[in-house]
Amino acid sequence: MINKRLVMVPGPTPTVRSIENEMGRPVTAHGDPAFVADYKDVIDRMGKLLDCSGQVFVIAGAGSLSMEMAIANNLKAGDNLLVVSHGFFGDRFIDVAERKGIHVDTIKSPWGKTVPLDDLADKLKEKKYDAVTVSHVDTSTAVVAQIEKIGEIINEISPETIYIVDGVAATAGVRCYVDKMHIDVLLTGSQKAFGIAPGLTILFTSQKSLDRRKSLGTITEYYVDYEKWIPIMQDPAKYFSTPPINLIWAMQKALDIIEEEGIENRYERHEKQAAAMRKALECMGFTVTAEEGCQAPTLTNCYYMNGIDDAQFRKYALEEGIILAGALGEYAGKAFRIGHMGNADTYDFIEAIAALERALKRCGADVEPGKAIGVFEEELSK
């Protein structure tokens, strides 16, 4: 007998039937007037949802392509970039930027903590940076950054600096308002808190970022060039490169779901279910890796207790019906990662916690079946 497999990695996240139906529709032409209207609707509604009065880009690609798109359109060789890194994905910007001949300075926090805001302020006073990058949630450490405060600091000390936020594991799950938070580029993908299959590269940009792109003249990148896409984003009847039609429809459905829930309610739900999940994990004996005060609402990383082997535990969890993610970097082998974002719901979480209990039991741990589920439900009902 084969169990269902609940995907509890921090992206891709579980999909719901109404979104799956959109992804399974017969494909149409990108010039089909009905599709053109849907594409336009998605672009307009996403801008409203994230409080972005600049240009929104929704094109085919992964989350990493949106990182590359942000760097390519806002920086040129010789420019100075400050990377604020809270882990593996924060560090990814270093590689993206250095390949383009951009000078990179980095401030890193120890894993599980955030960079002190005073350190960032000091850096910005010391040197003129053309851009700053920060991951909203770094999926390697499950740490959430104070993107609003960082925006205020940049805006106060160095208002010309382009503020780039990687929202791949946060957008639509963790509070973010682009204009209000002085963000110039919010980049994200489709497979995490939006709850769609992977395949969309999404950018929310400010007028400042669009002006910066203009000032660069011709850039070496082709597919991710803002200037190639702006005419299509404003009138999707035009063609530059074929859009991922079924994913655009899926996003339209995802937006219906988000609007029905209410974006603020969705942010609060993520905070609440994350707190309940952390309690349940601690009840089973795991230790949350992220420090209190910066624990992400979208996923949790936790250390194993003594005697639990990573590979064996995750193999048993898979056999019990849930797919977990291994930990990265300095946590590798010592911790696992569990996602709790997007359209994953209480039903999924109860299933997941039960499977964790069964997997632990098979590893020989002393667990009382159902206890962590009780803790989760108790916390959620508060």
List of residues contacting ligand PLP (CB under 6 A) = 11, 62-64, 89, 135, 138-139, 166, 168-169, 189, 198
| Pairing of β 137-138 and β 143-144 | antiparallel
Q: How far is the CB of 199 from ligand PLP (least distance, A)?
A: 9
C-beta of 11 vs 151, nearer to ligand PLP: 11
What residues pair up with 163 in beta bridges, in sequence order?
132
Q: Is 329 helix (H, G, I), strand (E, B) or coil?
A: helix
Q: Which is nearer to ligand PLP, 66 or 158 (CB)?
A: 66
Q: 121-132 burial, b for 16+ CB within 10 Å, e for fewer?
A: bebbeeeebbbb
Closest separation in Å from C-beta 198 to ligand PLP:
6
Q: Which lies closer to ligand PLP via its Cβ, residue 138 or residue 348? A: 138
Give the strands of the sheet with 80-85, arranged side by side.
Answer: 56-60, 200-205, 185-189, 162-166, 131-135, 80-85, 103-108
Give the type of residue at 371.
Answer: K
| Closer Cβ to ligand PLP, 192 or 358, answer by number | 192
Cβ proximity to ligand PLP: between 89 and 111 the closer is 89
Instruction: Pick the closer one to ligand PLP by CB: 198 or 326.
Output: 198
Q: What angle do CA 340, 346, 349 make, to 5 degrees?
A: 50
In the bound complex, what is the minimum distance in angstroms from residue 299's beta carbon to ligand PLP?
9
Nearest distance in Å: CB 201, ligand PLP = 8
Which has the closest alpha carbon to 161: 218, 105, 202? 105
Structure tokens at 307: 């005697």
User: Are the beta carbons of 80 and 105 closer than 8 angstroms?
Assistant: yes
β-pair partners for 338: 300
Q: With the CA atoms of 236, 238, 58 and 176 taken in that order, what torsion angle do they form, in degrees rounded to the nearest 10?
A: -60
75: amino acid identity, one letter: L
- In angstroms, give the least distance from the CB of 62 to ligand PLP: 4
Residue nearest to ligand PLP (CB): 63
Give least dist CB 49 to ligand PLP, A. Answer: 19
Contacts of 121 (CB under 8 A, 6+ apart): 153, 157
Instruction: Please report how close the Cβ of residue 250 comes to ligand PLP at its closest, in angstroms.
Output: 15
Nearer to ligand PLP, 189 or 321 (CB): 189
